[in-house]
Structure 1
Amino acid sequence: MERRHLSYFVAAVEAGSISEAARRLHLSQPSVSQAIQELERELRTPLVVRGRKLSLTPAGRALLGPARRTLRAFDGVRAAVEGVGVLATGRLDLAVVPALAVDPAVRIVTEFRARYPGVRIRVRDAANGAEGFTSLRRAEAELLLHDHPAPYPKHRAVPLALSELMAVFPPGTPLPEGPVGLPELARHDVVMGAAAESAVGTWITVELAALQLPSLTVAVDSAHRDAVIPLVLAGAGATVLPEPAARAAGLLGAVIRPVGFSVPRQAYLYHRTGELSPTARAFVDLVEEPPRGGTGT
């Protein structure tokens, strides 16, 4: 079994067809197909079901995760042999839950890229809740940014710092200066990103009930996070966003204010216990660095 056998197999699965994998690999379709057939003969079992869209047999599904981890191990060996201590090249597979796609993912990825410009980062969506950890189990990603407690004992969690939340209102909304409290927010229609800010929305609902105030009037409940700011700018309602996204909305004309309440939020960088690739190890090390100018305690 050669590296190319596993590489072509994984490429075909991720591309959805052998022909598309060949195009991405800049190879002929017969070359990719033959390599997968050789792998099947060596393992003495079919791995894929060929058709308009390639699918996996049970044996293929069992092989996929170990194949991905083996390819990352090859990359680690190459880095060690070549002495690439500065990570001049490499690839990092990172899964991110929607709620963390802007904060803190953008900040961390930007810092990592500034330090290691030769590393290519592939970011994929992770599902909310325990289902999001599938990307680690199947080795689709080596690292995961998630706000859910790890459902499996073999995952290590590194706490992440989160930006403060800010209230964002349509352009021209008359507001007093200073932080916006829950009673003021409740007087406005709101735009909620269902997949992105559901935890925040739930907490606000509970707190409003405790204050004997009416629940938020949700004008738009959008499953598409990217639509939230355009909807606010168009006057559909107010929202609550992490500070970087709120500041960006402010530059486009939205009225932004600090919030006068503290929402309990958590976020972690997860990875499987055991050896990490050089790129993943560098990413984890960056996250674990103490804040600049701080003591780290």
Structure 2
Amino acid sequence: MDIRHLEYFLAIVDHGGFNRAASALYVSQPSLSQAVRALERDLGTDLFHRIGRRATLTEAGKALIDPAREAVRSLQTARSSVEAVHELREGRLDVACMPSQAVEPLTTLVCAFSRRHPGVTVAIRAAFTSREVIDMVRTGAVELGLLASAGPVSDKEVASCELGRQRFVLMVPPDSPLAGRAAVGCEELAGQRLIVGQRGTGMRAYVDALREQGIDFTVAVETEHRVALLPLVLGGVGAAVVTESWRDIARQAGVHVMDIEPETTLDIALVNRRGTVSPAAAAFVRIAARTNT
């Protein structure tokens, strides 16, 4: 079985069709189709239902996705191991990260890693929940994942490096009556207009828990795009409950940030699949462990 055929198969899955995959791979569609047919002959089964120009996965095709990712990732690990002889002068490291942790500690970790290994490209993939991060790491879509969770990460699916905790804080516009204070009680969020994240995120779970406690507020905006938080707060749309990873950048933008009492935190962790990882991933984990000490 040709590993290139598996890479082509995954490209079709990830890009949603033969045409897009061929464009992404810079190969002709006939060459891509021929490679997939060769893979199907090797496996003795069809991987796609071909209906006109459309192609949908067969049950066999769906079953191949995870093993194919593992095989491709294993080959990439082998290649990276060879590159380690050259002191990681080149290569690529795929990292999945939740939005708030992409502000910090990911920025600090990538800066430290890039200073030591400037030839290695760090590719950051977005994931909105800790479950998404773990699944991307577990299936081999990425090598490392940075996440926040309400409690330590279970060691059943992935290995983890604990990176401390982040508390929840409140961002308010500079003209807010709350501006200028160092802290605010969670009960004072009653009556506030809040900008919140989508369900399944830590920040959304926190504000939903406040509402269950009888603290009544108005959801002004619900957004998946964390980059919109600062402009929305600055625009006076409402206040936003976020983790303290936002503190420095928010203050630089002119937003006032205060602690929310009583203190509530999320656990931050860097996770990877159990077993051998690439030299780049191992170097990144070592840097994260040193940064946390």
Q: TM-score range by the shorter chain?
A: 0.7 to 0.9
Distance 2:274 2:46 in 1: 31
| Structure 2 spans left out of the alignment, 5+ residues | none
CA RMSD of aligned residues (A): 2.9
Find 2:175's aligned residue among 172, 175, 200: 172
- Aligned residue for 1:68? 69
- How far residue 119 of structure 1 moved from its aligned partner, in angstroms, is 2.3
Relative to structure 1, the CA distance from residue 202 to residue 119 in structure 2 (aligned partners, 3 Å threshold; closer, same or farther) is same
- How far residue 262 of structure 1 moved from its aligned partner, in angstroms, is 1.6
Partner AA of 1:15 in structure 2 = H
- Aligned residue for 1:8? 8
Relative to structure 1, the CA distance from residue 246 to residue 290 in structure 2 (aligned partners, 3 Å threshold; closer, same or farther) is closer
- Aligned residue for 2:36? 36
Does the CA-based 8 Å contact 1:75-1:90 persist in structure 2? no
Does the CA-based 8 Å contact 1:104-1:161 persist in structure 2? no
Distance 1:103 1:78 in 2: 30
Structure richer in strand, relative to its length: 2
Task: Kindly report which structure 2 residues correspond to 1:142-181, keeping only aligned pairs within 5 A, or say none.
Answer: 142-148=143-149, 150=153, 153-175=156-178, 177-181=180-184
Does the CA-based 8 Å contact 1:79-1:85 persist in structure 2? no
- Aligned residue for 2:119? 118
The structure with higher relative contact order (CA 8 Å, sep 6+) is 2
- How far residue 95 of structure 1 moved from its aligned partner, in angstroms, is 2.1
Partner AA of 1:179 in structure 2 = A
TM-score by length of 1: 0.81
Relative to structure 1, the CA distance from residue 266 to residue 16 in structure 2 (aligned partners, 3 Å threshold; closer, same or farther) is same
Relative to structure 1, the CA distance from residue 129 to residue 241 in structure 2 (aligned partners, 3 Å threshold; closer, same or farther) is closer
- How far residue 187 of structure 1 moved from its aligned partner, in angstroms, is 6.2
| Structure 1 spans left out of the alignment, 5+ residues | none
Distance 2:116 2:33 in 1: 39
SS in 2 for 1:146: strand
- How far residue 289 of structure 1 moved from its aligned partner, in angstroms, is 1.8
TM-score by length of 2: 0.82
What are the Cα deviations for residues 58-103 of structure 1, in whole angstroms up to 9, with x where unaligned?
2222222222222222223233335445222222222223453333
Distance 2:45 2:27 in 1: 25
- Aligned residue for 2:218? 218
Distance 1:222 1:267 in 2: 23
Consecutive aligned runs of 4 or more in structure 1 exceeding 6 Å deviation? none
Does the CA-based 8 Å contact 1:126-1:133 persist in structure 2? no
Q: Percent identity?
A: 34
What are the Cα deviations for residues 111-154 of structure 1, in whole angstroms up to 9, with x where unaligned?
33333232233333335364653323432222222334656723
| Structure 1 range deviating more: 184-193 or 70-79 | 184-193
Relative to structure 1, the CA distance from residue 261 to residue 150 in structure 2 (aligned partners, 3 Å threshold; closer, same or farther) is closer
Distance 2:156 2:257 in 1: 41
Partner AA of 1:240 in structure 2 = V
- How far residue 219 of structure 1 moved from its aligned partner, in angstroms, is 3.9
Matched residues, number? 286
